[in-house]
Amino acid sequence: MEHYVNLPLTAEKAKLLRAGDTVYLTGEVYTSRDAGHKRMVELLKRGEELPFDPKDATIYYVGPSPARPGQIIGSAGPTTSGRMDAYAPTLLAQGARGMIGKGARSPEVIEAMKQHTGVYFGAIGGAGALLAKCIKSSELIAWEDLQSEALRRLWVEDMPLVVVIDCEGNDLYAQGRAAYLEGR
Amino acid sequence: MRELDVSIVRDAVARLCVAANTRLPEDVKKAIDEFRSKEDWAIAKGVLENIVENYLIADSENVPICQDTGMACVFLEVGQEVHFVGGGLYDAVNEGVRRGYTDGYLRKSVVADPIRRGNTGDNTPAVVYTDIVPGDRVRITVGPKGFGSENMSAIKMLKPSDGLEGIKKFILDTVEAAGPNPCPPMVVGVGIGGTFDKAAYLAKKALMRPLDVRNPDPYYAELEIELLEQINALGIGPQGFGGLTTALGLNIEVMPTHIAGMPCAVNIGCHATRHATEVL
């Protein structure tokens, strides 16, 4: 199934998405990866607030390459999500709902997604030049010292994604492979 | 004796960093195109089409193929008749990486310490390998290595009694464990023999060999073909969504080893396995 989804990603919208569906996402997403996630979770542990409102937010696991003069952003494809598994349940508990990345997630993350109605989207890893085309603005929010790992707010338009794990815990990596092997 | 100013090496390294990151090698393009025509699983074919579109954009707009422009692996084959002048050779290589990554708007992905972290800000230092060879030329290959795939690599000190079956099993198990993480379709570099460290080096070197060039030893050439077929029967597919194309190619490099050992290293590369070469 194909969906055109406008962000923020409410629980109602999330519930309509199933593993294997194609999604074109439009709206605000926040970029964060290893170092940024570590800082976010440290802030929360100290009882402080995140630099953005996590409610219904979507986080894109990306560390873009630098923009040339006149460009909005450099190449901007997903990084491997598994490295954020240690932090993702904490962010889902804060109300963040969408995650964009590539690669497998831990049982703990999938459990947290089921509990908090989260969705894990896959963007095509290694297609950073193509994905940059749907990024229409980029604004630094925090942690400039982290360079490519800084927290940025992006506006994306019709970003092509696949639902890899839905809020019921269905996983395209298992289902897609099984279906291919069965149909071959 | 031929004198070569290291500034020439520096400038070549800078050019190669940019070239490797923006233009996918022809052998990798060819492999993607071949698998795209063979792939009949709809979602897999769609992913391969996007991957082609991506490298065409990178080509025409001079932007990085992938935002992970890697840690710069620099292979120097230095003719023994060459005498470098004008400064330190490795300083020149690192200055080339610094300029290439800064002036070429490539991502700086290197931290100064593995535990304490802290970005070095210019993608240095490079990982440099030097071979001394006959002649008076210098051949430089830059292979930027992304870590989505590097992280899925593995090494095992197999026993001689594990034999060929043990080697095959370890390679297939490593690809299976990598699954959707390393941006499949992967390129698989295998190093067998030597010592613990040498096997890993051979696996990295295997990733630099064009995918349409087989190992000169027919025994290993056949093994490369057989293992690629077995990997592409796993069903992982492009991006792990299912399909034929789990790997674009598999190269094996070997060397003699100890009577007690059979080291095997598997270095996983992504569909944007990049390398560029110049001869000075």
In this complex, do A124 and B50 lie within 8 Å of one another by their Cβ atoms? yes
Determine which of A1, A22, A80 to mutate to test the interface with B (most B C-beta atoms within 10 Å).
A80
β-partners of residue A44 are: none
Residue A73 with chain B: CB contacts under 8 Å: none
* Sole residue written with tokens 């815990």: A169
Interface of A with B in 99-138 (CB under 8 A): 102-104, 122, 124-130, 132-133
What pLDDT, in 10s, does the model give residues B144-176?
999 999 999 999 999 999 999 999 999 999 999
How many other CB atoms sit within 10 Å of the CB of residue A83? 18
At B27 the three-state DSSP class reads: helix
Residue spans of the domains in chain A: they are: 2-183
Q: Which helix (H) or strand (E) holds B255?
A: strand B247-257
For A2-183, which CATH class?
alpha beta
Residue of A nearest to B121 (CA): A147
Determine which of A68, A100, A172, A177 to mutate to test the interface with B (most B C-beta atoms within 10 Å).
A177
DSSP 8-state assignment for residue A160: E
- Judged against a pLDDT cut of 90, whether residue A54 lies above it is answered with yes
> From the CA of A37, how many Å to the nearest CA of chain B?
14
What pLDDT, in 10s, does the model give residues A137-146?
999 999 999 9
At B72 the three-state DSSP class reads: strand
Residue spans of the domains in chain B: they are: 2-21+65-145, 148-273
- Judged against a pLDDT cut of 80, whether residue A184 lies above it is answered with no
Task: State the pLDDT at residue B24.
Answer: 96
Task: State the pLDDT at residue B227.
Answer: 98
Task: State the pLDDT at residue A183.
Answer: 84
Report residue B177 as tokens: 């464990």
CA-CA distance, B68 to B73, in Å (whole number)?
A: 14
- Judged against a pLDDT cut of 90, whether residue A136 lies above it is answered with yes
CA-CA distance, A67 to A64, in Å (whole number)?
A: 8
Q: At A178, phi and psi to the nearest 5?
A: -60, -40
Residue A174's alpha-carbon distances to A88, A89, B270, in angstroms, are 21, 21, 20
Indicate the pTM of the whole model.
0.94
Cβ pair A23, A163 in contact under 8 A: yes
- Average pLDDT score, chain A: 96
What pLDDT, in 10s, does the model give residues A92-120?
999 999 999 999 999 999 999 999 999 99
Q: At A117, phi and psi to the nearest 5?
A: 55, 55
| Ranges of chain B whose pLDDT falls below 50 | none
Q: At B135, phi and psi to the nearest 5?
A: 105, -175
B193 backbone φψ class: left, alpha, beta (φ>0; ψ -120 to 50): left
Task: State the pLDDT at residue A85.
Answer: 98
Per-position DSSP letters for A60-117, written without gaps between them:
E---PPPPPTT-S-S--PPPBGGGGTTTHHHHHHTT--EEEEBS---HHHHHHHHHHT
Percent of chain A with pLDDT over 90: 99
- Measure CB to CB from residue A126 to each of B44, B119, B271 and give the nearest one: B271
Residue of A nearest to B243 (CA): A180
Buried-exposed string B83-92: b where 16+ CB fall within 10 A, e elsewhere: ebeeeebbeb
Report residue B38 as tokens: 């063979």
Interface of A with B in 28-47 (CB under 8 A): 35
Does any CB of chain B come closer than 8 Å to the CB of residue A13?
A: no
Spatial neighbors of B57 by CB under 8 A, at least 6 apart, are A129, A130, A133, B63
In this complex, do B109 and A66 lie within 8 Å of one another by their Cβ atoms? no
CA-CA distance, A11 to A169, in Å (whole number)?
A: 15
Q: At B178, phi and psi to the nearest 5?
A: -65, -40
What pLDDT, in 10s, does the model give residues A7-44?
999 999 999 999 999 999 999 999 999 999 999 999 99
